[in-house]
Structure 1
Amino acid sequence: MKARIKWVEDTLMVAESGSGHAVVMDGPPDFGGRNLGARPMEMLLMGLGGCTQFDVVHILRKGRHQVTRCEVELAAERAETDPKVFTRIHIHFILAGPGLSEKAVERAVKLSAETYCSASLMLGKVAEITHDFELVPYNQ
């Protein structure tokens, strides 16, 4: 896996993935940024959310469960002093699907957290990561 980050000006950067996708990152105004993109640490948190969501949906579908909605909300706390690593991360899944059971979702979340999500397993070395989920009504 590869990535390339090009500095544009001040704290503005354009990141390009090895697969050819680009995202803009920027710093806050108090560090010279113009707030034109996500912060690098926000990207890390969003990457964790995307990684675990990918797993959960894949696991559920592989088990022949229909998933019509899956959102992941993340809340993180960081250390007060440098390096300001994540110290706690809470991941909340919101799912819907016809006949989707709590047992199936609980299993998928656990498998993602403990076996498949590389981002969770890496960040879990420095941060306490917790999970919960809610099933919301399936609307056709």
Structure 2
Amino acid sequence: MKATVKWLGEELFMGTSESGHTLVLDANGGALAPSPLENVLLSLGGCSSVDVVSILKKTRQQVSNCVVEITGTRVDTVPKLFSDIHLRFVITGTDVEAKHVERAVALSADKYCSVALMLAGKVNISHDFKIINA
């Protein structure tokens, strides 16, 4: 897998993936686009959500929506790394069983989500979930 990042001027950068998709990053605290660290949170949430939805579908849960709310806490010293990240999965559906959601979230965190596994050695990642009956 390959990617490039090109400086656009000021503090804006454009990332292009090997598949040709682009995204803009803003090093100025996310004023015009997500900052690189905000993008880490988005990548973690995206990776985990893909896993959770896929696992819930395989267990025949009637899921109509999945939103993950992500909170990252950074240290006060430079570099301002994440010390903690919390993911809250809000699953909407009909008769969705908590045991299946709990298992899906745990499997994503512990086995399948590449982004979570890369961060796990340096960042305390926690998660919980809420089920909303549709």
- What TM-score do you get using the length of structure 2 for normalisation? 0.95
Cα distance in 2, alignment partners of residues 61 and 81 from structure 1: 42
Show the counterpart of 1:107: 103
Q: Does 1:132 align with 2:128?
A: yes
The structural deviation recorded for 1:137 is: 2.1
The structural deviation recorded for 1:27 is: 2.3
Cα distance in 1, alignment partners of residues 94 and 4 from structure 2: 42
State the AA in 2 paired with 1:20.
G
> SS where residue 32 of structure 2 aligns?
coil
> Any runs of at least 4 consecutive aligned residues in structure 1 with deviations exceeding 2 A, and if so which?
none
Residue by residue over 1:79-98, the C-alpha shift from the partner in whole angstroms, topping out at 9 and shown as x without a partner, is: 11122211000100000111
Show the counterpart of 2:71: 75
State the AA in 2 paired with 1:54.
V
Cα distance in 2, alignment partners of residues 98 and 45 from structure 1: 28
Count of equivalent residues: 134
- What TM-score do you get using the length of structure 1 for normalisation? 0.91
Residue by residue over 1:32-62, the C-alpha shift from the partner in whole angstroms, topping out at 9 and shown as x without a partner, is: x8x2211001001100000000000001111
Unaligned runs of 5+ in 2: none
Show the counterpart of 1:50: 46
Residue by residue over 1:19-40, the C-alpha shift from the partner in whole angstroms, topping out at 9 and shown as x without a partner, is: 11111111227xxx8x221100
Unaligned runs of 5+ in 1: none
The structural deviation recorded for 1:118 is: 0.9
The structural deviation recorded for 1:17 is: 1.1
Show the counterpart of 2:114: 118
Cα distance in 2, alignment partners of residues 27 and 126 from structure 1: 22
In terms of fraction of residues, the more strand-rich structure is 2
RMSD: 1.3
> SS where residue 94 of structure 2 aligns?
coil
State the AA in 1 paired with 2:11.
T
Cα distance in 2, alignment partners of residues 56 and 70 from structure 1: 8
Identity in percent:
46
Contact 1:85 1:126 (8 Å CA) reproduced: no
